[in-house]
Structure 1
């Protein structure tokens, strides 16, 4: 569980794409990519690969704190 005031590392989309390419194009495994890039866990690489496959390069963009652009949002009267 995160500690109060704990800071998390934020990775750029370019860094994430590098990891994804190492996995998809170079054929390295999740654990090897994790070790090569000095990541804490291979779950980062797994998530990035999944997001890239599902959404392309936009899947690697940071989404925390961003407003949803869902079509389910109600239009408020002006």
Structure 2
């Protein structure tokens, strides 16, 4: 997929907001095959302003519970990735897709895996040599504590899900969740 500059994205959004061209004509004008990206840029801009279109140099990290909440919300409401991202303040809807895939393949534990460059075999061997035996035991204990915490979070989530299933309107009113409507403009 082509990488577009923030300046280009902002130009597209501004031109769309002028109201002279719809999604398809703008896509054709700028040689884009699909309007999906353009639609996302416009919705993200409407929600977060120009900062929403900026590429993130510093990647934000999200808790496992947050990721689970996002995935469950999307499943429960039938919202699209874009609608869900906007609901949770995320500027990158494809992030949700990767979380969902990881969750389906490996459960909640797969959501806590750190992203980034993997260590080479020589780096791992060197780290093992430097690490004292006591630290290995503590690491195992910390892993068990983390797993216990995740299980507690899952139980808490299931309680909230049950409350939602019993009274969806009351639950949503209590938590003041809002649903975003579709774009106001109709494409040509």
Residue 11 in structure 1 maps to residue 24 in structure 2: no
**Is the partner of 1:28 in helix, strand or coil?**
coil
Question: 1:47 deviation in Å?
Answer: 0.4
Give, in whole Å, the separation in 1 of the partners of 2:58 and 2:25: 31
Equivalent residue number for residue 134 of structure 2: none
Matching residue within 5, 22, 36 for 1:29: 22
- Provide the residue aligned with 1:61 in structure 2: 54
- Please report how far the alpha carbon of residue 61 of structure 1 lies from its aligned counterpart in structure 2 after TM superposition: 1.3
TM-score, normalised to structure 1's length?
Answer: 0.69
- More relative contact order, 1 or 2 (CA 8 Å, 6+ apart): 1
Structure 1, gaps ≥5 residues long: 1-7, 73-78
TM-score, with length taken from structure 2: 0.31
Instruction: Select the structure that is richer in helix.
Output: 2
Secondary structure in 1 aligned to 2:32? coil
User: How do 1:40-51 residues align onto structure 2 when only pairs under 5 Å count?
Assistant: 40-51=33-44
How far apart, in 2, do the equivalents of 1:49 and 1:23 lie? 8
The number of residues matched between the two structures is: 64
- Where does structure 2 lack aligned partners over 5 or more consecutive residues? 67-188
